[in-house]
Amino acid sequence: MMNDSLAVLQEEMEEIMRQAGGGATFPPKCFLSMKAEFVSYESRQSLIVTMPVLDESLNPVQMMQGGFIGAAFDNAFGPLSYLAARAPCATMNLSVQFIRPVELGERLTVHAKVASRGIQVLHMTAEAFNSKNKLVAAAVAGAAVMRSASQSKG
């Protein structure tokens, strides 16, 4: 059963997708390929996403590759930016600080938050935790809000 925060997420994203018209998909294929799932959402403020550490995401020493951890952050920042801005966004920068390795079979859980929301730019922060709730990485990102002329007036 869907919790209340995920019902809000679904409702808000359906409205944004209606406004966007054809071509936009939610969640995107990159989210689905990582078998990511939405856990919790606070409207326009925060999003929690979880995903399993899959065999195809492992580096040569059998730990989750840093690029996949970065993609996990991007899979939280992307939907959150779109929801927070109520418009498509493009990532301008994404910086990740790696703290400890993540093993196959664990779940990576990303807690993303909007740090500031301007008309043209969003700044976001996030932390990623392993199955033992240990901090494994932290990230910051900036996203450009891609409003059309009609959206800017409204």
pLDDT tens, residue by residue, 61-108: 999 999 999 999 999 999 999 999 998 899 999 999 999 999 999 999
Q: How would you class 2 by CB atoms within 10 Å of its CB: exposed for 0-12, middle for 13-18, buried for 19 or more?
A: exposed
Contacts of 77 (CB under 8 A, 6+ apart): 91, 94, 112, 124, 126, 139, 141, 143
Name which of 47, 57, 53 is nearest 8 in CA terms.
Answer: 47
Contact predicate 92/81, CB 8 Å: no
Q: Which domains does the chain have, with CATH numbers?
A: 4-153 (3.10.129.10)
pLDDT tens, residue by residue, 99-121: 999 999 999 999 999 999 999 99
> Is the pLDDT at 26 greater than 90, yes or no?
no
Question: What is the rounded distance in angstroms from the CA atom of residue 77 to the CA atom of residue 1?
Answer: 25
Q: Which residues pair with 87 in a beta bridge?
A: none
Question: What is the rounded distance in angstroms from the CA atom of residue 116 to the CA atom of residue 44?
Answer: 11
Residue where the block lists tokens 């209340």: 4
Please report which confidence band the pLDDT of residue 154 belongs to, taking 50, 70 and 90 as the band edges: very low
Task: Determine the longest span between alpha carbons in the chain, in angstroms.
Answer: 52
pLDDT tens, residue by residue, 29-40: 999 999 999 999
Q: At what angle do helices 66-85 and 4-20 cross, to 10 degrees?
A: 80
